[in-house]
Amino acid sequence: MTRPERGSSRYDAVGFDLLTALLHTWTLWIAVAGDRDLGMRWHAASQAMLRGRDYFPFEDDLRRSAAEVGLTPDRAEELIRRWGEFDPWPDTVAALGALRAKRRFIVTNCSDRLAARAVARLESEFELVMTAERAGAYKPDARPYQAAIEALGVDPARVLFVAGSAHDVGGATRVGLDVYWANRGAAPAPTDGRAIRVEPDLRALIEVAG
């Protein structure tokens, strides 16, 4: 497929990772764990446990990963109870506002229930929220991205996906999407895909989205 030319309205739709690209979720993991290092290890264990797998209950992933890093079951239950106590990153609201004319959607590694809580924190309208639960698989498996494209009826060549992690870069590019990577954690570049733009936040997104 031919990519839209620079200087034109290159993309009809913009998709977003939710829990890293748009929301600052790490602070809650740290607060519930009671320690920064432990909270980030818990988050990393959670991501490793579900990554690319067929869907199983996201809440179970939170419980299993807590046990893996030595946290007691009540910590996982507190995280589930408090899920959604996230703030948007400082640049998120302005970026979403600037893209009001675009079709906007989310693809997230989350259950329907917990995704709804998290999306509510953005106070913004999205045409679609594609969860791992709905798609039947966790990113970067192609199914969540593909399910979103099919549900929206859009041409992948006219879609920009805003990745929050290196794994999103490869996952989204495999289904034909251009990727803007908001690399907020300064992670190493992935080996299975290349973003067309890598930035530490969303401030350059409107320039790329066109």
pLDDT recorded at residue 2 = 38
Whether residues 50 and 124 fall in one domain: no
Cβ partners under 8 Å of residue 133, min gap 6? 55, 58, 110, 111, 112, 115
More confident of the two residues 22 and 9? 22
The model's confidence at residue 7, banded by pLDDT at 50, 70 and 90, is: very low
Domains: count for the chain: 2
Whether residues 201 and 155 fall in one domain: yes
Domain boundary among 82, 102, 118: 82
Tokens of 23: 């929301």
Whether residues 78 and 112 fall in one domain: no
Centroid of chain to Cα 85: 16
Whether residues 75 and 118 fall in one domain: no
Give me the mean pLDDT over the 28-53 stretch: 97
Residue 29 to residues 18, 24, 38, 74: CA-CA distances in angstroms? 15, 10, 9, 13
Whether residues 38 and 18 fall in one domain: no
Whether residues 149 and 98 fall in one domain: yes
pLDDT recorded at residue 4 = 44
Whether residues 115 and 193 fall in one domain: yes
pLDDT tens across 115-159, in order?
A: 999 999 999 999 999 999 999 999 999 999 999 999 999 999 999
Q: Are 136 and 55 in contact (CB under 8 A)?
A: yes
Sign of CA dihedral 56, 62, 63, 69: positive
Report the distance separating Cα 28 and Cα 14, nearest Å.
27
pLDDT of 78 strictly over 50: yes
Single pTM value for the model: 0.93
The model's confidence at residue 5, banded by pLDDT at 50, 70 and 90, is: very low
Helix ranges (H only) for the chain are: 26-33, 36-50, 58-68, 73-82, 92-98, 112-120, 132-135, 142-152, 166-173, 205-209
The model's confidence at residue 10, banded by pLDDT at 50, 70 and 90, is: confident
Give me the mean pLDDT over the 97-103 stretch: 95
pLDDT recorded at residue 102 = 96
> Whole domain around residue 41: which residue ranges?
26-82
Tokens of 134: 């709905």
pLDDT recorded at residue 24 = 96
Give me the mean pLDDT over the 80-86 stretch: 96
User: Which residue, 28, 55, 77, is CA-closest to 135?
Assistant: 55
